[in-house]
Structure 1
Amino acid sequence: MKHLPKHIRPRWRYLAVAIEAAPDADIDRGGFQRALWYAAGNLLGDAGSADADLTVFGFEYADGVGEAIVRARREETDAARAAVACIDRVDDQPVGLVVRGVSGTVRACEESYLRGRSPNSTEDSVAFADDQRPAIRRDDVAEISLPEGFVAATELDFH
């Protein structure tokens, strides 16, 4: 089968998406793809979702932070950004997503917006609620481990 001529091939844009969740959240590529399709379908409808053709092209996630590359058709980048903004849970785990930028190639997307830009996380012990508790610190925010789960706090909340 012959390839399509270059002027007929679909044109793609790549969205760099930062992912942040609780340190114990278990998020994988398949769950993120399902959440993306569900959000696009609800926001854009079936026809709009098909026009955007959103696909998770690259995905990395570990210890509460991650990155993804989402492929969308060139004319549908605004719709793709809106669909990503509608995602608040992946596999029933609350997440925060930020579109860091849009690029025309995967390589430019990785170099400009992704690689090495995730916050450094360190394990630490912090004073919180009148007790020393284990925490995972990222920049000026800490995810403090409590018996009920993790709670996020800033440096003003703990010593």
Structure 2
Amino acid sequence: MKHLPKHARPRWRYLAVGIETWPDARLDRESFQRALWYAAQNLLGDPGSADADCSLVRFRRVEGAAEAIVRVRRDEVETGRAALACVDAVDGDPVGVRVRGVSGTIRACEESYLHADGGVGDERDAVFRGDSVRVSDRGRTADVATATGFVGAAETDLSVERSESTDT
């Protein structure tokens, strides 16, 4: 089978996507792709989702966050972004999805928009609402582990727990 001539091949754009979720969420490549397909189909219908052809090209997960590259047809970038905006949960776990940028090649997309900080950093002890808690640090924000699940908190909501030393 012969290849199509260059002028007849489909043209693609690549969306760099940042994904945030709770540290204990189950998030993998297949579940995110399925959630994206369902969101595109619900928003655009069968013909619209086929035109956009949203496909996951790359996926990398770190604790509490992930990043991905989603391929869409060149003329369907805005509909692809809209479909990504409709993804609010993956396998029942809430997620936040943000398009970091758009590029014409996978390589340029990775170099320009991916591998940035954004995952969960170190865990530390802090005081939240008067209680001593364990938090997963995300820089200026943190995920606070409570009895009912995680709570997102700003750095101003937390105070550093100080251990009392016994200097004599």
Distance 1:5 1:76 in 2: 22
Question: Could you tell me which residue of structure 2 aligns to residue 28 of structure 1?
Answer: 28
Question: Could you tell me which residue of structure 2 aligns to residue 106 of structure 1?
Answer: 106
Q: Deviations over 1:62-115 (max 9, x none)?
A: 211110100000000000000000110011100000000100000000001112
Contact 1:14 1:103 in 2 (8 A): yes
What SS does structure 2 have at the residue aligned with 1:13? strand
Deviates more, 1:115-124 or 1:76-85: 115-124
Please, which runs of 5 or more residues in structure 1 have no aligned partner? none
Matched residues, percent identical?
Answer: 57
Given residue 98 of structure 1, which amino acid in structure 2 is its aligned partner? R
Shift of 1:34: 0.7
Distance 2:43 2:116 in 1: 32
Contact 1:27 1:90 in 2 (8 A): yes
Contact 2:119 2:138 in 1 (8 A): yes
Shift of 1:147: 1.7
Shift of 1:148: 1.3
Distance 2:50 2:155 in 1: 44
Question: Could you tell me which residue of structure 2 aligns to residue 150 of structure 1?
Answer: 150
Moved over 4 A (4+): none
From the superposition, tell whether residues 103 and 62 of structure 1 become closer, same or farther in structure 2 (CA, over 3 Å): same
What SS does structure 2 have at the residue aligned with 1:24? coil
From the superposition, tell whether residues 47 and 88 of structure 1 become closer, same or farther in structure 2 (CA, over 3 Å): same
Q: Deviations over 1:43-78 (max 9, x none)?
A: 111000000001010001121111010000000000
Please, which runs of 5 or more residues in structure 2 have no aligned partner? 160-168
Relative to the length of structure 1, the TM-score reads 0.96
| Aligned alpha-carbon RMSD (Å) | 1.1
Given residue 5 of structure 2, which amino acid in structure 1 is its aligned partner? P
Superposed, which structure 2 residues align to 1:1-159 within 5 Å?
1-119=1-119, 121-159=121-159
Relative to the length of structure 2, the TM-score reads 0.91
Contact 2:143 2:150 in 1 (8 A): yes
Larger radius of gyration: 2
Count of aligned pairs: 159
Contact 2:62 2:119 in 1 (8 A): no
Q: Deviations over 1:11-47 (max 9, x none)?
A: 0000000000001111011110111001100111100
Contact 2:15 2:69 in 1 (8 A): yes
Shift of 1:117: 3.9
Shift of 1:120: 6.0
What SS does structure 2 have at the residue aligned with 1:7? helix
Given residue 100 of structure 1, which amino acid in structure 2 is its aligned partner? R
Contact 1:119 1:139 in 2 (8 A): no
Shift of 1:129: 2.5
